[in-house]
């Protein structure tokens, strides 16, 4: 793999950029691997990278039904943050943010990581109480979350002219999470894929897993795909919102539901908002991309869904509530909208776990799981390689449901 550097950029400019090498190889599909990872999204590719880098396991194939990085990794609003509530969640997300901070270097891939703070705009007292609880717990675990008054909020976000004393829900305060960042989401998928492929991992696109295969003794044996049977000693299901469609084929029932979450972007405008603004009482959040577009997300479609578009209803509600706080945005033209299928666990905490089927692992419940890609991959690789959960992900196993030991997490969703 050619190393990316200022020198390689200049060198390749001499040949009009025609000689760059491919990011990843396309070898033929073998009959058997040590590890199969189903899903070439952020989590699957990160797992492959850390399996190779941290544990020396390279006899791995990542199977993807569509194209690499075409799932939710390409559909999210790129917010990275660690301001969760629970003692069990905070160390994990703090770890993920710290891995993100060093990731461009680790992957030798410019992820345009932009540390820019997130400001939560608070309009109700129950939200204020919930968020103060998160603040106090954040301090214990090294995740900063501090309150500012309305005047300071308006100084930092001048476009926020709504929510005054006469409005339906006057703004009563705000919270700043300094570690929050945005970064180039496709780059995360491509960077991990390039690194894994260089270390010998195979990535097979357009390879859809239809069924999990089990041995007579019940252990996992491999998978059935549209390109034939592939055997493996260990199989990890890392397919985001489609987890149950695969685990059901082996009779494994999981405490998760799938929903549609959507986002949209405006036409590009001059630099206007330099932080991520989140309005949890209204259920809308936004940031401005490097191109100048406002990237806007709302609340999920309330009923279970496997659609990847946005419902008119959900879209209108996000726009209407946004205009309450940012009335000037009335004049913005919206350019594109899209959705993705995400799964969320019974207690809104992710699941990184072995299962009742020996050799089968799942990583799911990734609502808001872009921020979790580095730590999710890191800890799943650890679990696959050693058979033991990594300490920052140890609370995320399926055991917690067996013991009714839920980790009810209010920090999972930004919107509400």
Partner 1 sequence: MLILPCPFCGQRDESEFVNAGPTKPSRPDANVSDAEWVDWLTVPENPIGYIEEKWWHAKGCGKWFTIKRHTVTHEIVTADVMPDDVGKRTGETT
313, 386, 388, 391: residue in contact with partner 1 (rule CB under 8 A):
313
Q: Which is nearer to partner 1, 87 or 248 (CB)?
A: 248
Q: Which does 365 bind (CB under 5 to 8 A by kind): ligand FAD, partner 1, none?
A: none
* Cα–Cα distance, 166 to 393 (Å, whole number): 46
255 binds partner 1 (CB under 8 A): yes
Distance in Å, CB of 249 to partner 1, minimum: 12
* Cα–Cα distance, 151 to 143 (Å, whole number): 24
Angle at 301 between CA 298 and CA 304, to 5 degrees: 145
Q: Which is nearer to partner 1, 53 or 346 (CB)?
A: 346
Q: Which is nearer to ligand FAD, 123 or 287 (CB)?
A: 287
Collapse the DSSP code of 362 into the 3-class scheme (helix H, G, I; strand E, B; otherwise coil) and give the result: strand
Distance in Å, CB of 302 to partner 1, minimum: 4
152 binds partner 1 (CB under 8 A): no
DSSP letters for 138-172: HHHHT---EEE-HHHHHHH-TT-----TTSSS---
Q: Which is nearer to partner 1, 98 or 245 (CB)?
A: 245
82 binds partner 1 (CB under 8 A): no
217 Cβ contact partners less than 8 Å away, ≥ 6 residues apart: none
Burial bucket for residue 15 (CB in 10 Å: 0-12, 13-18, 19+): exposed
CA-based max dimension of the chain: 69
Give residues in contact with ligand FAD (CB under 6 A): 38-44, 63-66, 70-73, 75-79, 208-209, 238-240, 242, 246, 261-263, 297, 340, 342, 366, 368-371
Taking CB under 8 A as the binding criterion, the range among 135-143, 196-204, 248-256, 383-391 that sits at the site for partner 1 is 248-256
Q: Which is nearer to ligand FAD, 94 or 238 (CB)?
A: 238
* Cα–Cα distance, 219 to 211 (Å, whole number): 14
Q: Which is nearer to partner 1, 216 or 253 (CB)?
A: 253
18, 216, 270, 312: residue in contact with partner 1 (rule CB under 8 A):
312
Taking CB under 8 A as the binding criterion, the range among 86-94, 185-193, 274-282, 306-314 that sits at the site for partner 1 is 306-314
Footprint (CB under 8 A) of partner 1, residues 394-413: 401-402, 404
Contact present, 36 and 235 (Cβ < 8 Å) = yes
Footprint (CB under 8 A) of partner 1, residues 286-305: 302-305
168 binds partner 1 (CB under 8 A): no
Q: Going by DSSP bridges, is the β-strand pair 118-122/276-279 parallel, antiparallel, or unpaired?
A: parallel
Q: How far is CA 77 from CA 263, 281, 296, 414, in A?
A: 7, 19, 8, 11
Distance in Å, CB of 196 to ligand FAD, minimum: 14
* Cα–Cα distance, 341 to 258 (Å, whole number): 6
Which of 150, 94, 183, 172 minimizes the C-alpha distance to 411?
94
226 binds partner 1 (CB under 8 A): no
Q: Which does 360 bind (CB under 5 to 8 A by kind): partner 1, ligand FAD, none?
A: none
What is the total count of residues that contact partner 1 (CB under 8 A)? Answer: 23
Handedness of CA 33, 37, 39, 40 (dihedral sign): negative
Strands across the sheet containing 114-115: 79-80, 181-182, 114-115
Q: Going by DSSP bridges, is the β-strand pair 228-237/32-38 parallel, antiparallel, or unpaired?
A: parallel
Q: How far is CA 362 from CA 110, 192, 355, 376, 384, in A?
A: 29, 19, 7, 11, 10
Q: Which does 258 bind (CB under 5 to 8 A by kind): ligand FAD, partner 1, none?
A: partner 1
Closest chain position to ligand FAD (CB)? 41
Note the Cα 338 to chain centre separation in Å: 16
Q: Which is nearer to ligand FAD, 21 or 226 (CB)?
A: 226
Q: Which does 281 bind (CB under 5 to 8 A by kind): partner 1, ligand FAD, none?
A: none
Q: Which does 254 bind (CB under 5 to 8 A by kind): ligand FAD, partner 1, none?
A: partner 1
* Cα–Cα distance, 180 to 276 (Å, whole number): 8
Q: Which is nearer to partner 1, 82 or 258 (CB)?
A: 258
Distance in Å, CB of 128 to partner 1, minimum: 24
Instruction: List residues near partner 1 by CB under 8 A.
Output: 244-245, 253-258, 302-307, 311-313, 317, 343, 346, 401-402, 404
């Amino acid at each position: 793999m050619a190393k990316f550097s200022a020198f390689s950029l200049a060198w390749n400019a001499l040949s009009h950029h025609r000689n760059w090498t491919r990011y990843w190889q396309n070898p033929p599909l073998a009959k058997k691997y040590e590890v199969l990872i189903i899903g070439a999204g952020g989590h699957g590719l990160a797992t492959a990278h850390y399996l190779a880098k941290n544990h020396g396991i390279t006899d791995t194939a990542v199977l993807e039904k569509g194209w690499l990085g075409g799932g939710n990794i390409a559909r999210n609003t790129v917010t990275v943050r660690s301001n969760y509530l629970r003692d069990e969640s905070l160390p994990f997300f703090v770890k993920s943010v710290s891995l993100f901070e060093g990731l461009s270097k680790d992957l030798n891939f410019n992820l345009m990581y932009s540390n820019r703070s997130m400001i939560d705009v608070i309009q109700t007292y129950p939200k204020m109480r919930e968020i103060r609880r998160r603040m106090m717990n954040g301090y214990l675990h090294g995740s900063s979350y501090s309150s500012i008054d309305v005047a300071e909020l308006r100084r930092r976000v001048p476009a926020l002219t709504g929510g005054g004393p006469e409005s339906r829900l006057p703004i009563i305060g705000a919270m700043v999470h300094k570690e929050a960042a945005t970064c180039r989401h496709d780059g995360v998928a491509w960077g991990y894929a390039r690194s894994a492929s260089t270390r010998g991992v195979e990535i097979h696109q357009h390879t859809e897993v239809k069924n999990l295969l089990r041995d007579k003794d019940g252990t996992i044996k491999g998978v059935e795909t549209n390109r034939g049977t592939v055997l493996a000693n260990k199989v990890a299901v890392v397919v985001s919102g489609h987890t149950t469609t695969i685990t059901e084929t082996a009779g494994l029932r999981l405490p998760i539901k799938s929903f549609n979450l959507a986002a949209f972007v405006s036409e590009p405008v001059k630099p206007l908002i330099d932080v991520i603004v989140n309005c949890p009482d209204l259920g809308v959040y936004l940031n401005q991309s490097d191109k100048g577009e406002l990237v806007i997300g709302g609340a999920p479609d309330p009923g279970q869904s496997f659609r990847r578009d946005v419902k008119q209803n959900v879209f209108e509600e996000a726009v209407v509530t946004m205009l309450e706080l940012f009335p000037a945005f009335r004049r913005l033209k919206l350019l594109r909208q899209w959705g993705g299928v995400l799964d969320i666990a019974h207690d809104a905490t992710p699941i990184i776990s072995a299962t009742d089927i020996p050799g089968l692992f799942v990583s799911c419940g990734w609502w808001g799981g872009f921020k979790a890609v580095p730590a999710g991959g890191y800890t799943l690789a650890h679990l696959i390689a050693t058979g033991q959960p990594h300490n920052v992900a140890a609370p995320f196993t399926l055991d917690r449901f067996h013991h009714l030991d839920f980790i009810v997490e209010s920090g999972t969703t930004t919107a509400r």
